[in-house]
Amino acid sequence: GQQLNQSPQSMFIQEGEDVSMNCTSSSIFNTWLWYKQDPGEGPVLLIALYKAGELTSNGRLTAQFGITRKDSFLNISASIPSDVGIYFCAGSTSGTYKYIFGTGTRLKVLA
Amino acid sequence: DGGITQSPKYLFRKEGQNVTLSCEQNLNHDAMYWYRQDPGQGLRLIYYSQIVNDFQKGDIAEGYSVSREKKESFPLTVTSAQKNPTAFYLCASSMAIGTNQPQHFGDGTRLSIL
């Protein structure tokens, strides 16, 4: 099945730094979702985006729905140790059951 | 608490054995899904169900079977035909299919081969 290209694959950052990651697709999507997964647990929904150009925040997290509708971005400001985990993007076209998931960005925060 | 409950957390399968993974939700969601997660890969869809007594194959359905006899429950059976079953299995649900509703996940079942 198709998968999204998510980058970077992994990153080490210092506590307090800002983090950026992105997701790109060859297909146009109508919905973008961002999830965080901790080890041994299921993904937890962070942000949902439904409109091109939309910018949505959830605490220190901000995500954007790319204008081309083929990409999305997630930023984390002032990272803290509990931000450690894998961040997944997922995209869907209108009226379909199917979300395509990215391969994840593994974030490690150095205290 | 409202949510999705998967059990067991860990499961071991012997060669030639079928095993069943449980998924129960009390969110009153119509749609339910099963995904497989392997290290370094994204989630791959095994089966999904839009309503009771109806389900459809996803991208990697071979070696798996499901049932949807109740709205709240969507068990997954990993059959002996699945030759590489070791993975982390995730169940998800959403309000309805076709409406771009976000999917919400359970905490997963890790299946290993003895």
> Helices (H), strands (E): how many in chain B?
0, 11
Report the SS3 class of residue A18.
Answer: coil
Q: What is the mean pLDDT of residues A11-18?
A: 94
Q: List pLDDT tens digits, range A28-68.
A: 999 999 999 998 899 999 999 999 999 999 999 999 999 99
d(CA A86, CA A103): 9
d(CA A47, CA B15): 41
Q: Do B102 and A33 touch (CB under 8 A)?
A: yes
Q: List pLDDT tens digits, range A75-89.
A: 999 999 999 999 999
pLDDT value at position B16? Answer: 86
CB pairs under 8 A between A and B: 64
Q: Would you state the structure tokens that stand for residue B56, as one six-digit string? A: 């459809």
Q: Does B43 touch chain A (CB under 8 A)?
A: yes
Q: Do A98 and B44 touch (CB under 8 A)?
A: no
Best mutation target among B9, B41, B43, B89 (most A Cβ atoms within 10 Å) is B43
Q: Is the pLDDT higher at A93 or at B78?
A: B78
Q: Which residues lie across from A55 on neighbouring strands?
A: A64
d(CA A98, CA B48): 9
pLDDT value at position A2? Answer: 64
Q: Do A94 and B100 touch (CB under 8 A)?
A: yes
Q: Do A97 and B48 touch (CB under 8 A)?
A: yes
Q: Does B97 touch chain A (CB under 8 A)?
A: yes
d(CA B114, CA A21): 38
Residue among A40, A38, A55, A32 at smallest CA distance from A101? A32
Using alpha carbons, list the distances in angstroms from residue B105 to A25, A43, B24: 23, 6, 11
Number of other CB atoms surrounding residue A12 within 10 Å? 10
pLDDT band at A17 (very low <50, low <70, confident <90, very high): very high
